[in-house]
Structures are given as structure tokens and as C-alpha cells.
Amino acid sequence: MSLFSRIREDIAAARATDPAARGGVSVFLIYSGLHAVWWHRVSHAMWARGMRFLPRALSQLVRFGTGIEIHPGATIGRRLFIDHGMGVVIGETAVIGDDVLIYHGVTLGGTGHQGGKRHPTIGDRVVIGAGAKLLGGIELGHDCAVGSNAVVVRSAEPWTTLTGIPAQGRPRRGAPVAEQPDMADFYVI
């Protein structure tokens, strides 16, 4: 997929997700969440080629300009939309699927100083509410929803709503009956 096709796809996703998006030109010019994702793609490409200093420096410049910090090592799928964006932090080993929506103040962070996979893995079509903190090498299945200010420290099955501190899971409304998890072995603490 060409660079311009990806940009058009991102703009269309922002317009479909944000009712305040008035037009493609304004989204292209002023949506800091898209700018952070676009610059992340550049820094991630350098990171994947073994460069370390330049992509980290670029990510810090982007953080200064947008208020969004995405480590160049993070893996991000297609059509990620960061709405409002300020204060979003995405760690080095985070993996984000396609069509994910993240609101301001969200952290996809690590716990401790161990090496290896230490940041969350987020499935496709996940919505993460403002101020939510997802910590450690946890996995959220496809179509999950994380409530505002939730602190998620345990993995969750697809079609789960997570709320509270620490987050508790329950089946997400609208989940296909065949995909609803068996809650008997599901509750998280």
C-alpha cells in the first residue's frame, strides 16, 4: 500500500470515528493524533533497520509537538486513531491491532525492569477510554472496550468491557452470542 493510500485511509478512519471532523483537509492539517502516528511510521521503519538514536530523537520531537509519545519499537496496525491525544504514551514492546481508537491520557506501559515483552498487546477494533492505564505484557482480545480511568493489569478475552481499578471484565454489549466468553473462568482481579 502506498504512503498516500495509507494517509487517505487514516483520514477516512478519523472522519468515520470523530463526529467533530469537518473535512479531510482540516483532519490532515490539525489532528495531532494522526501526525503522531504518521511520524511513528517513519521512526519505526528506522528502528526496524537497527537505528536507535535517530528514531528515539524523532519520537521525542514528535512528543514535544503533539503531546503523544510513541516509542519507535511499538508495532501499530492500520487505521489507529488517537482522539485528542494529549498525554498518550505507548511503550516499546506494545502491539496495537487494526481500527483501534485511543482517547487522551492513555498509557500502554510496562511494569518492572524485566526485558522482553513488557507492554500490552491490543487486538483489532478495541476502544480505550480517556485516562486508562494498561500495564504489563497483557493481551486484550478483539472488540474489547476499556472504560475511562480503568487500570488493566490482566489479559481479557474478545468482546469484553473492562472498568474499574483494578479493571474487572464483563461481556461487552453487542457481542455475538457465540463469541461471548464463559464468565465462570473469566473474572479478573
Domain ranges of the chain: 3-172+180-185
- pLDDT of amino acid 186: 45
What pLDDT does 183 receive?
46
pLDDT at 145: 97
Q: For position 180, what pLDDT does the model report?
A: 53
Distance spanning both ends of the chain, measured CA to CA: 42
The confidence score (pLDDT) of residue 173 equals 83
The pLDDT of residue 71 is 98
Q: pLDDT tens string for the chain (189 positions)? A: 788 899 999 999 999 999 999 899 999 999 999 999 999 999 999 999 999 999 999 999 999 999 999 999 999 999 999 999 899 999 999 999 999 999 999 999 998 788 889 999 999 999 999 999 999 999 999 999 999 999 999 999 999 999 999 999 999 887 676 555 554 444 443
- Looking at domain 3-172+180-185, its CATH class is mainly beta
Q: Looking at residue 176, what is its pLDDT?
A: 72
Do the beta carbons of residue 73 and residue 93 sit within 8 Å? yes
Q: Give the integer Cα–Cα distance in Å for 80 and 163.
A: 22
User: For residue 151, what are the β-bridge partners?
Assistant: 133
